[in-house]
Amino acid sequence: MDKLRTRASSINRALDQIGDKWCLLIIQEVFWGINTFSGMLEATGVSRGVLSNRLKWLQAQDCLRKRVAPGGSRHPVYHLTRKSVDMYQMSLMAVAWEERYFPPPTAGRVHLRHRTCGNVLQPRLRCSTCRKDVHGRDVTYHPGPGATRDVRDKKVRRRSSLSASDVPGEHSVYRNLIDLVGDRWTANVIALAFHGLQRFDEFHQELPVATNILSDRMRFLVQRGVFVTRPYQQRPLRHGYELTAMGWDLFPYFLTLLQWGDRWCDPNGAGRPMCLTHTLCGESLHGEVVCNHCGEELSAHHVDFTIGPGEPA
């Protein structure tokens, strides 16, 4: 398989492991309690061959573990590992973004209740130092100890959208976000935009991708409302790409993705490729997802959920 050499990035490493749209959907289903092959087949709408392939891949990445079901059933069940349970805060940020910009019908609504304080919650991302909400505009970046180059496999799968017919299950609560980040180049473009890149040539300089593929991704992100184009030169006319409010509000998801990649996708143990500073307090940024009522950091074991018209008891 062809190889790419790119700047080391925990986001890229994370996406190479779990960023495929079907991998993200499968992990989502297991979070919601659907953990059999037949259950995932029905919930995701994926073909049997693709599902089998992705389950094997996620097991190889130590994100799923297959076990024999209790009671002598011939059908195995798939369980989250410590590594994939650590994606929980990413899932919460995905739900929050989807609920804000693409509120689902009542049957697909997610309700979260925090066991500690008993309230139905809205997850929020805050700086662990100053405890203020984190916004992408309040972050600066500088190289970390692992700022090297990565050699990555060159995948050739084409970008495809997730339509309503692709994912029939009511549990697919952040389909629109997966449509954005379930493609390597689209996710890379969004991540680079948080660093202030706006011009096509700036994105192309960072990404080893053909211009027609990059043009397709930029067009897609404009159509989806993540970018808006504005002219920065008249002769010849050239447009830059600026993040919209919707685009900036993807930052909490990407920060939790980056932090997950820092923890689990450092093959050589060199440390973080990139360090972030929260400009509001001047300290190294670590984002934590907390309950909007009591302020406690959220974990999968302390949150109950329901999907549908009712709220968790």
Compute the Cα dihedral for 243, 244, 246, 248 and give only its sign.
positive
Q: Which residues pair with 67 in a beta bridge?
A: 77
- 39, 32 contact by CB (below 8 A): no
What's the rounded Cα separation, in Å, for the pair 245 and 290? Answer: 22
Q: If you average pLDDT over residues 115-134, what whole number do you get?
A: 97
Which pLDDT belongs to residue 163?
43
pLDDT in tens, 221-238: 999 999 999 998 888 888
CA distances from 41 to 51, 133, 180, 187, 307 (A): 7, 38, 22, 26, 19
- Is residue 312 over pLDDT 70? no
- Is residue 296 over pLDDT 50? yes
Give the containing element (helix H, strand E) for 140.
strand 139-143
pLDDT in tens, 259-272: 999 999 998 899 99
* Tokens read off for 266: 């450092």
**pTM passes above 0.85:** yes
* β-strand pairing of 77-80 with 64-67: antiparallel
Q: What is the DSSP letter of 148?
A: S
* β-strand pairing of 227-233 with 149-153: unpaired
At residue 138, what are phi and psi to the nearest 5 degrees? -105, 30
pLDDT in tens, 148-197: 988 877 664 444 444 434 544 445 678 899 989 988 899 999 999 999 99
- Residue 232, helix vs strand vs coil: strand
